[in-house]
């Protein structure tokens, strides 16, 4: 099928497959899936600038769909999300200024890739380590994490000022209750700082930041896994919309391509969001850790492909690794959900 805006011919079946995978992983893990979309479109022969711009459009649409579904399940903490957005916007702005300086120095490419590799390796490795450490003492709902003492200290932090004066309201406390996240009292400055940090690294790496925010909410603030997923998607709507707007202004988004993938993503999101109701939180986290490590391997291969003309094939291999890992994860998620549903049905039949 010929796409005149991007000036490339792509098999629509491949776009549908990519859309389903993105929708599934986005709904299940609470991430935008930018690394998967861009890598997949590059393998399909889409020019890089259109791969990024069209990918951001899909991230925005997919995140909106999945956020609505998770909101219906009660998995979105709007109050927490809004507080983090206060810090996210200036964080992204500061990162753009740093990126401009790195681009002028002509070192932006290697710096971003190496930072990305380190972040993915540390993050994925920690999630796998956490799973192995707590699996023997895991609670029935799978929410136990190895950083429980850290989350208690973070929630108990008292950051001045403890109250501020607002016109028309007088003295207002700077501590807020977040019942959806199971937090009785939290300084508003903590989610703002989290939002700023995630926004900064998201802007620096050119990603939505979802891959970082979800584990920060779980392991840093102690937010339940499913609520962290839904709230993460709420944040990605904002970053994805801003990125789509910027690329659309430069005519680097192919709407036809995005619509095809978005239609498939809406189907995949049904699987991803539904699966979070049946799959234990601990299993969601370990699958996410493995996916992150797969992304780390792909980025490392992409960086290695720049060392010499003789290893340029590693760039294609990187995208293939991404698609393979994503495909395996989608099949695993579908299998785990069907097994969980079968067990629920068997227990219901036994009770009758």
pLDDT recorded at residue 34: 66
pLDDT recorded at residue 219: 92
| Per-residue confidence in pLDDT tens, the chain, 352 aa | 888 887 788 888 888 988 888 888 888 887 766 667 766 777 677 876 777 778 777 777 888 888 888 888 889 999 999 999 899 878 877 877 787 777 777 776 677 778 778 888 998 899 988 888 877 665 555 677 888 899 999 999 999 998 888 888 888 899 999 999 999 999 999 999 999 988 887 767 656 667 788 889 999 999 999 999 999 888 888 766 766 676 677 677 888 888 898 888 888 888 888 888 888 888 889 999 998 888 888 878 877 887 888 888 888 888 788 888 888 999 999 898 888 888 877 777 776 6
Q: Which residue has the tokens 């207002």?
A: 172
Instruction: Return d(Cα 296, Cα 119) in angstroms, integer.
Output: 8
Cα–Cα nearest to 189, from 212, 214, 218, 221? 221
DSSP 8-state symbol, 168: T
Q: How many domains does the chain have?
A: 1
Q: Which residue has the tokens 């988004």?
A: 253
Cis bond before residue 329 (omega within 30° of 0) = no
pLDDT recorded at residue 46: 81
Summarize pLDDT for 213-233 with one digit per residue, the tens.
Answer: 888 999 999 999 999 999 988
Angle between helices 225-249 and 281-304 (to 10 degrees): 40
Instruction: Return d(Cα 22, Cα 75) in angstroms, integer.
Output: 20
Instruction: Return d(Cα 235, Cα 250) in angstroms, integer.
Output: 24
Other Cβ atoms closer than 10 A to 100: 11
Cα–Cα nearest to 114, from 307, 329, 311? 307
pLDDT recorded at residue 109: 66
pLDDT recorded at residue 181: 94
Cβ(81)–Cβ(231) under 8 Å? Answer: yes
Give the HSE-up count for residue 25: Cα atoms under 13 Å, Cβ half-sphere.
31
List the domain range (segments joined by +) for residue 136. 2-351
């Amino acid at each position: 099928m010929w796409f005149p805006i991007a000036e490339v011919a792509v098999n629509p079946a491949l776009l549908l497959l990519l859309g389903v995978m993105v929708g599934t992983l986005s709904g299940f893990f609470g991430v935008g899936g930018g690394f998967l979309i861009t890598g997949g479109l590059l393998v399909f022969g889409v020019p890089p600038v259109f791969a990024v711009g069209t990918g951001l459009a899909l991230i925005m649409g997919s995140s909106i769909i999945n956020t609505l579904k998770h909101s219906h399940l009660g998995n979105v903490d709007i109050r927490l999300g809004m507080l983090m957005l206060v810090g996210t916007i200036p964080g992204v702005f500061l990162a753009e200024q740093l990126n401009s300086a790195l681009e002028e120095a002509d070192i932006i490419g290697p710096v971003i890739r190496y930072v990305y590799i380190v972040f993915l390796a540390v993050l994925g490795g920690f999630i796998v380590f956490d799973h192995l450490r707590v699996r023997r003492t895991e609670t029935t709902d799978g929410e136990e994490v190895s950083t429980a003492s850290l989350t208690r200290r973070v929630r108990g932090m008292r950051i001045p000022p403890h109250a501020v004066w607002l016109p028309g309201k007088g003295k207002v406390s700077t501590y807020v209750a977040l019942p959806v996240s199971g937090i009785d009292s939290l300084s508003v400055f903590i989610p703002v700082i989290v939002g700023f940090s995630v926004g900064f690294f998201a802007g620096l790496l050119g990603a939505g930041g979802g891959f970082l925010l979800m584990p920060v909410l779980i392991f840093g603030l102690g937010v339940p896994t499913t609520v962290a997923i839904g709230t993460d998607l709420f944040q990605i709507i904002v970053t994805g919309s801003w990125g789509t707007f910027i690329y659309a202004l430069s005519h680097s988004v192919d709407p036809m391509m995005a619509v095809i993938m978005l239609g498939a993503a809406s189907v995949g999101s049904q699987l991803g969001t539904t699966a979070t109701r049946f799959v234990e939180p601990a299993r969601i986290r370990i699958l996410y850790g493995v996916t992150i490590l797969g992304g780390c391997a792909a980025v490392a291969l992409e960086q290695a492909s720049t060392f010499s003309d003789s290893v340029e094939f590693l760039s294609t291999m990187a995208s293939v690794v991404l698609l393979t890992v994503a495909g395996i994860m989608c099949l695993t998620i579908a299998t785990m959900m069907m097994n969980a549903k079968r067990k629920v049905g068997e227990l219901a039949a036994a009770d009758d």
